[in-house]
Amino acid sequence: MCFRLILITIAVTVVPIFVMRGTLLLNISDKLWSERVDSIERQSFFLAGQLIEQDYFNGENRVIVNSLIAQLDAIYDGRVIVVDSDYTVLKDSYSRINDKKVISPQVIACMNGQETEPYYDPVYDMVEIIVPVTGGEDQAVRGLIIIDASTLDLTETYGDIKQMSLWIAIGFSAILVALAVFIGRVFTKPFKNVARSINRISEGYFDEEVSLKGPAEIETISDAFNVMLKRLKELEDSRQEFVSNVSHELKTPLTSMKVLADSLNTQPDAPVELYREFMQDIVVEIDRENAIINDLLSLVKMDKKAGDLNISTVNINEMLELILKRLRPVAAKRNIEMVLESFRPVTAQCDEMKLTLAFTNLVENAIKYNIAGGWVQVSLDADHKYFYVKVSDSGIGIPEELYDKIFERFYRVDKARSRETGGTGLGLAITKNIVLMHDGAIKVKSKEDEGTTFTVRIPLTVAS
């Protein structure tokens, strides 16, 4: 991330800085040299005017004009040559080729009235400019001025600018890259911390929290992460608790059976009646072990995922009638009256087997935790979205502070009573899981010694 940020910074800032510097330098060099050429041309035209005015080509006033030439020569640290229309040098400020002929393509072209471009010689760092001297009525070319001017000072100035701009560009680039590295560090550090924490959790250390300081967005991630971590910890704790509960619950019937069998073994002359009685007790324990294993299997199968549901169109009225019919004999044993109240016919898209198990658990509990001669009322209603099943009883009730607890696996308000009635402490956990798989909700309301009402809400159509 940091490396990529540096590359991006270089691409969007450093590269443009250098491109800009290049363009600027090109402009500056253009301007420097063209201004110098302009200035030399201006001076040359002035000199040309003087040459005509002073009648230089006819040998007049040469001293005055020669001093002008000397001045020009001094200003531009160069050489001034005046040529007449016969290409004969009338004046060479270096006095080397006086009276000689100067013939070159540019000189001829200029003499013929064509414009010539300044010629730049990078080896000697100078520029040569040829200016025609025109005069007379017909403005004919009477001669030429050839100026070779040094541009060494320009090259030096340009070199200084080039050097300075290079340092400025490097300085800026260094600052920008340093800034990118710094920002990269600041921004990636929290993410690295999160990654480290995730790795620690993957290794099994659930106790660590991440604390990220920085922009609000990063703190939000850290908070969300800690919430997730807390939930993971809870899940891990509950998993461990579940495993230890399962072992304990499965061991209890085994321990009882062992005690019964041992006591028979230590009494070689035990009467047959005792054997029979103990054997019956052992069968009860085996049934209990079986019940626990069956409940555990149903619980494990349900993973709160709607995808595992076996959806069909179910007549809920008939389903509840059947549940009550099956449980009526159990209720009759304790003289408990069972009533089904249907407000309307309800059909729903749901998993019939699972919902039958869920409601059976609720009605069984309503019978188990009831008083002899009490009542159980099951009611069914629906609106356009959900159907509602209420299971009320006139039983012992549940203290309000335990409303949440009773849905936990193996939780029982009164262990002895649950055991007596063959409970495993898993019924409500299974029921709740089934309801959640259907995207539904389950609520309990109770008053101790008066009764309990469980309300279940299930969507008429489960999104699968």
Chain residues in the site for ligand ADP (CB under 6 A):
361, 365-366, 369, 393, 395-398, 406, 411-414, 418, 423-429, 452
Q: What is the DSSP letter of 88?
A: B
Q: How far apart are CA 363 and CA 361, in angstroms?
A: 6
Cβ nearer to ligand ADP, comparing 251 with 417: 417
Q: Nearest distance from residue 301's CB to ligand ADP, in Å? A: 17
Residue 170 carries which side chain, given as an amino acid letter? I
Cβ nearer to ligand ADP, comparing 184 with 425: 425
| Six token digits for residue 375 | 């009542």
Q: Nearest distance from residue 241's CB to ligand ADP, in Å? A: 15
Q: Nearest distance from residue 355's CB to ligand ADP, in Å? A: 16
Q: Nearest distance from residue 262's CB to ligand ADP, in Å? A: 28
Q: Nearest distance from residue 365's CB to ligand ADP, in Å? A: 3
Q: Nearest distance from residue 335's CB to ligand ADP, in Å? A: 17
DSSP 16-79: HHHHHHHHHHHHHHHHHHHHHHHHHHHHHHHHHHHHHHTTGGGT-SHHHHHHHHHHHHHHHTSE
Phi, psi of 340 (to 5 degrees): -115, 125
Cβ nearer to ligand ADP, comparing 132 with 395: 395
Q: Nearest distance from residue 364's CB to ligand ADP, in Å? A: 7
Helix residue spans in 302-405 (DSSP H): 316-333, 352-368
405 to 302, 306, 412: CA distances (angstroms): 19, 24, 8
Cβ nearer to ligand ADP, comparing 135 with 425: 425
Cβ nearer to ligand ADP, comparing 242 with 411: 411
Is the Cβ–Cβ distance between 441 and 457 less than 8 Å? yes
| Six token digits for residue 462 | 């489960």
- Strand pairing report for 375-382 and 337-342: parallel
Is the Cβ–Cβ distance between 145 and 133 less than 8 Å? yes
Cβ nearer to ligand ADP, comparing 115 with 449: 449
| Six token digits for residue 279 | 């054997």
Cβ nearer to ligand ADP, comparing 221 with 413: 413
